[in-house]
Amino acid sequence: MPFKRLFIAIKIISSEELKNCFNSLKFQLKHENVVFSDINQLHLTLLFFGKTDEIQIPEINKVLNCIASNSLPFNLEINHIGTFGKKKYPKTLWIGVNKNPLLLELKTKINNEFLKEKKVITESPDFIPHITLARIKHINNVQDFYSTVEKYKDFFKYKLYVDKFHLFESTLTPQGAIYNILNTFILNQKIL
C-alpha cells in the first residue's frame, strides 16, 4: 500500500516585511552551513503524522473537517527568534509565536483526536509554536552566530490572521523537503 509523509499545519503567508527580514538574515548567515527553508513553504506545524497509509487520508480529512467546523479563527503574532538544540550546537533556527488561547485550543482538539487513537508516529509533549527558518548543519563561530541572531530579535514582528489550516504531504528530496497541501480546512467564523 502506498504511504505519504503527512502533517497538519498553518501555512504562513509572507508579507514583504517578513520576506525582507528573512532574506537579510539569510545573507548575514551565508558564511555558515545553514540550510534555509523556502520562504514560500513556511508553516507552523500542529501535528506530524509521519509515514501514513494513503487509505487513512479520507478518515483524517473527516476528523479535521469536524475540528475546523468547531474552531474559531484567530490572530497569530510572531514576536521572537530562537534555536533548538544545544547552545554550542544549535540544530534549528526558528521564529516563535505567542501562545494564543485559540491556537492552543485547536492544537488540543487535534491532539485529542489523533493521539488517543495512536495514529501519530511522534509528538513532543511540550508544544512550542514556531516556524522553522533554517536547519543548521554546522556553525563556524557560535558567538558570531548568536550575535547575528540577536540583532534580528526585534525585526521578526508579524501578525497573521488564521482562518484555515491544512493537511500537508512532505516529500523528501536531496534539496530538502517539498510540502504540498492535500486539503484545506476552514475555521468556523459563525461560532458564537
pLDDT of 6 above 90? yes
Position 133 scores a pLDDT of 94
Average pLDDT score over residue span 22-36: 94
Position 90 scores a pLDDT of 94
pLDDT of 39 above 60? yes
pLDDT tens per residue across span 93-104: 999 998 889 999
In the chain, where are the structural domains located?
3-186
pLDDT of 84 above 60? yes
Position 125 scores a pLDDT of 56
For domain 3-186, the CATH class is alpha beta
| Mean pLDDT over each residue of the chain, to the nearest integer | 89
DSSP 72: -
Position 64 scores a pLDDT of 97
pLDDT of 57 above 60? yes
Contact 44, 78 (CB under 8 A): no
Query: Does pTM surpass 0.85?
Result: yes
Contact 185, 64 (CB under 8 A): yes
**Residue 192 — very low, low, confident or very high, per pLDDT cuts 50/70/90?**
very low
pLDDT tens per residue across span 104-153: 999 999 999 988 765 554 445 567 889 999 999 999 999 999 999 999 98
Position 15 scores a pLDDT of 87
Position 121 scores a pLDDT of 47
Position 35 scores a pLDDT of 92
- As a three-state string, the secondary structure of 103-165 is HHHHHHHHHHHHHCCCCCCCCCCCCCCEEEEEEEEECCCHHHHHHHHHHCCCCCCEEEEECEE
Position 173 scores a pLDDT of 81
